[in-house]
Chains A and B, each alone.
Chain A
Amino acid sequence: MTSGTQIAPTPILPVAPRISGRRRLHKLGWNVLGVIVLVVMVFPVYWMVATAFKPGQKILSYTPQWIPTSPTLSNFRDAINQPFFWDAVKNSVIVVTVVVALSVTLAFLAALALAKFRFYGRKGFIVLILGVQMVPLAALIIPLYILMSRLHQVDKLTGVIAMYLTFVLPFTVWTMRGFLLGIPKDLEEAAMVDGATRFGAFVRILLPLVGPGLVATSIFAFIQAWNEFIIAYVFLHTPQKQTLMVWLASFTTLRGTDWGPLMAGATLCAIPVVVFFLLVQRRIAFGLTSGAVRG
């Protein structure tokens, strides 16, 4: 650079931006409040995990032990050894896998129609899909029970799978459609101008780009199916056929309230969801409401 002959500018002292004392105090106040909110929000989750690792006599003490000083895995052992735990795991895995595979396939096809075609009834279908999500499950469960008993699907995993599939479909169609809309039409057209067929453009351009959307949608479907309680509770009577959430909810009724193993079981049930959730949380929020704020 222009070294040597340069006229030296007035030296700038390394001043930090001036923040008045009052402002710093303000910031401190907000931070203190923020820490309180954080502690209050996270404490229940912490308390679950902490309890899960505490030995029995520390749990049943009138003065709570805030930090598990002698952690043990015995609660987890007890939870796993509870009757029907492995049945429940197996059932949940079956239900969730089938629901995810089917719903994502159906949702992808439907979303393709909604995002890439203009046709009569398109908008109506979108409104229907949004509206249908608002119908309370607690209301529908009555006629569903009648319907399923006619079809001899009560106390069968297939019936539950069919219902889950339908209940996650609207949301998965909606999010898949969002992902597909996010892919510029120009890209496909460019591929076609470059010599690809319509199908070729679809396979080579659209499919790879929509990959993350498929993953995210699968995870949404997973979480919904994994967490569902009411349908499983009403339709699956035999303990061997129950899913994990029903197993967890009926935990206490087996031999009183045994908090240690219950919290261990709850932790086990939450882990897969927490992991998947952290992967896609941004998209869930935006899927529901994105674009509603516009200047």
Chain B
Amino acid sequence: MSRLAPEGAALSSVAESEFALASRRRRRLTRQRLGHAAAPYALLAPAAVAIGVILGYPMYLLVRMSFEKYGLFELIRHQGKWVGTANYAQIFHDSEFWRVLLRTALFTVVNVTLTMVLGTGIALLLLQVSRWLRIALTTGLVLVWSIPVIVAVDIWRWMVDYEFGVANWSLQHLHVGNFVRHDWFANPWTGFGVITALIVWGAIPFITITIYAALAQVPQELLEAAAIDGARPWRIFREVTMPLLMPIFVILTSLSIIWDFQVFQQIWVMLDGRPTSDYYTMAIYAFHQSFQISEYGLGAAIAVVMVLFMFGATLVYLRQMLRAGEIR
């Protein structure tokens, strides 16, 4: 029921006088009530339909396709062929799949850890520096935050260019080693190093600014009370600040896991749309299976596995949002 039925009570008491009038009014009343009850659904309908058709149905389709043989032939016929769990059996028996899964998991762990640690560190740094520098830093962070991903990829590609890249020149002149014409992507470890740098660099602003905002919300007198109670700065941070920031940390970490586990465009564009299998992550692997060798059913199965892996992080995120009172 809607709360928005202000006329209801007043009307019913007036309507006693004349029977015909009363019944007419009562009928109008119920129609009105019905109207009020339907209003939110009507308002919601357009968005719900759009989400249902273009998000909901494809999700169903994804799951169904993962149980079907769906190649070029089926694409043209618009009809897959049911094969049960054959797709899953095939990918689970493929050592490539396990390598990709492991790589993606490792990549996610490294990226999320670096993002959270550096993001939090810079947020704490913001509390320590002078005012002018704090303003300069936040402005710089927002600038970085606003750079579109594809633009960011191009910038980093240019910076690590094997011939004229500023990274090679700098490392050479800092005597880190021989970086003349060093190709970062020849070795997947250094290649992923560059991609990690790019992703962490791009993710830090959001993390830092959010944590900084949260830090500013921690009541000052709690910290003062702890100081008077005898805690040293580090203890205050551990005993008071950290626990209060925990909900934010959980939300940010789960979001980062979700975002980094499905990484696609940074790798794809960084490697000119031709990543070697050394650079496959779950998303790229699924994409490759579907669109490059037209095994849509296999690709769908891989994608389903990917979604299931991310499900945990999503649940944690939703639960924390519920707890924090964001969902009311």
Contact = CB atoms under 8 A, between A and B. Distances in A.
Interface of A: 27, 30-31, 33-35, 37-38, 41-42, 44-45, 47-48, 51, 59-64, 106-107, 109-110, 112-114, 116-119, 122-123, 125-132, 134-147, 149-150, 162-163, 165-167, 169-170, 173, 181, 192, 198, 223, 226-227, 229-230, 234, 245, 248-249, 251-253, 257, 259, 262-263, 266-267, 269-270, 273-274, 276-278, 281, 285-286, 288-295
Contact of B245 (A119, A248, A285, A293): A293
Interface of B: 1-4, 6, 37, 39-41, 43-44, 46-48, 50-51, 53-55, 57-59, 61-62, 65, 70, 75, 78, 122, 125-126, 128-130, 133-134, 136-137, 140-156, 158-159, 161, 163-164, 166, 169, 201, 204-206, 209-210, 213-214, 217-219, 222, 244-245, 247-248, 251-252, 255, 258, 261-262, 264-265, 269, 272-273, 282-284, 286-287, 290-291, 296, 299-300, 303-304, 306-307, 310, 313-314, 317-318, 320-322, 324-328
A110 B4 contact: no
Nearest to B263: A138
Contacts of B273: 249, 253
Contact of B59 (A51, A61, A135): A135
B321 A130 contact: yes
A278 B146 contact: yes
23 contacts: A30-B129, A35-B133, A41-B144, A44-B155, A47-B159, A60-B164, A64-B164, A112-B43, A113-B39, A114-B40, A128-B51, A135-B55, A137-B264, A145-B290, A147-B58, A227-B150, A230-B264, A248-B150, A249-B153, A263-B158, A267-B151, A269-B148, A273-B147
A169 B50 contact: yes
Contact of A288 (B126, B255, B269, B322): B255
A42 B258 CA distance: 26
B169 A166 contact: no
A137 B272 contact: no
A38 B264 contact: no
Contacts of A150: 78
Contact of A132 (B55, B141, B154, B326): B55
B47 A38 contact: no
A171 B264 CA distance: 21
Given A122-B40, A281-B142, 9 more contacts: A31-B130, A41-B204, A45-B155, A114-B40, A127-B327, A130-B317, A139-B307, A140-B59, A227-B150
A111 B40 CA distance: 9
Contacts of B322: 127
Contacts, number: 320
B272 A252 contact: yes
B251 A292 contact: yes
B306 A136 contact: yes
Nearest to B54: A166
A259 B164 CA distance: 10
B175 to A, nearest CB: 16
A44 B46 contact: no
